[in-house]
């Protein structure tokens, strides 16, 4: 099983197969617009612009699950991110990432870690690096700034 086995909803509620991203390096992130980590959008956008031509994509999943830090509609969240941080990477429909109502993609991602046990997503801006083959490479904590693991993105792009 890989991330390519999942479909997610775009902001309009349409199904998007992650097979559409086959052959690309992905950074999958659960985000929130009112979180202390929201300024990470700047670094995410910098990395996206720097590496998109080499096959890098960021998949942004807004999540209001943690202290309601992603209020507003999908459209309002998209406008905020586009206007405040000039983001151009793909943003999807707001979801839950952990617990009983978690999106199946994130249920799968929670199980992908070096110890093989479920490691719950506990906060916004948890990041998952996925290789061109759709396989999990590494998980990064909310406190890990995106540029701090740029070398791992570059290594994945070279494979």
Question: Residues 94-151: pLDDT tens digits?
Answer: 999 999 999 999 999 998 876 666 688 999 999 999 999 999 999 999 999 999 999 9
Rg (CA), the chain: 14
Active-site residues, by number, are 35
Q: For 8, which DSSP code? A: E
φ, ψ at 57 (rounded to 5°): -135, 145
Instruction: Determine contact, residues 60/92, Cβ cutoff 8 Å.
Output: yes
Exposed/middle/buried for residue 153 (C-beta within 10 Å: 0-12, 13-18, 19+): buried
Instruction: Determine contact, residues 127/97, Cβ cutoff 8 Å.
Output: no
pTM over 0.75: yes
Task: Tell me the per-residue pLDDT of 57-102, one tens digit each, with 9 for 90 and over.
Answer: 999 999 998 778 787 888 988 888 888 999 999 999 999 999 999 9
Q: What span, in angstroms and rounded, lies between the C-alpha atoms of 71 and 34?
A: 8
């Amino acid at each position: 099983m890989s991330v390519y086995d999942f479909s997610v909803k775009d902001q309009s509620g349409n199904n998007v197969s992650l097979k559409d991203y086959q052959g690309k390096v992905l950074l999958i992130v659960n985000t929130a617009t009112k979180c202390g980590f929201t300024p990470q959008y700047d670094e995410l956008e910098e990395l996206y612009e720097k590496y998109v031509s080499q096959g890098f994509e960021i998949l942004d999943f807004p999540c209001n699950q943690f202290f309601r830090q992603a209020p507003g509609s999908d459209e309002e969240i998209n406008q905020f991110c586009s206007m405040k941080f000039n983001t151009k990477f793909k943003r999807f429909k707001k979801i839950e990432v952990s617990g009983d109502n978690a999106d199946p993609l994130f249920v799968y991602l929670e199980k992908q870690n070096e110890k093989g046990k479920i490691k719950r997503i506990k906060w916004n801006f948890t990041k998952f690096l996925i290789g061109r083959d759709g396989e999990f490479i590494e998980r990064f904590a909310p406190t890990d700034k995106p540029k701090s693991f740029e070398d791992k993105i570059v290594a994945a792009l070279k494979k």
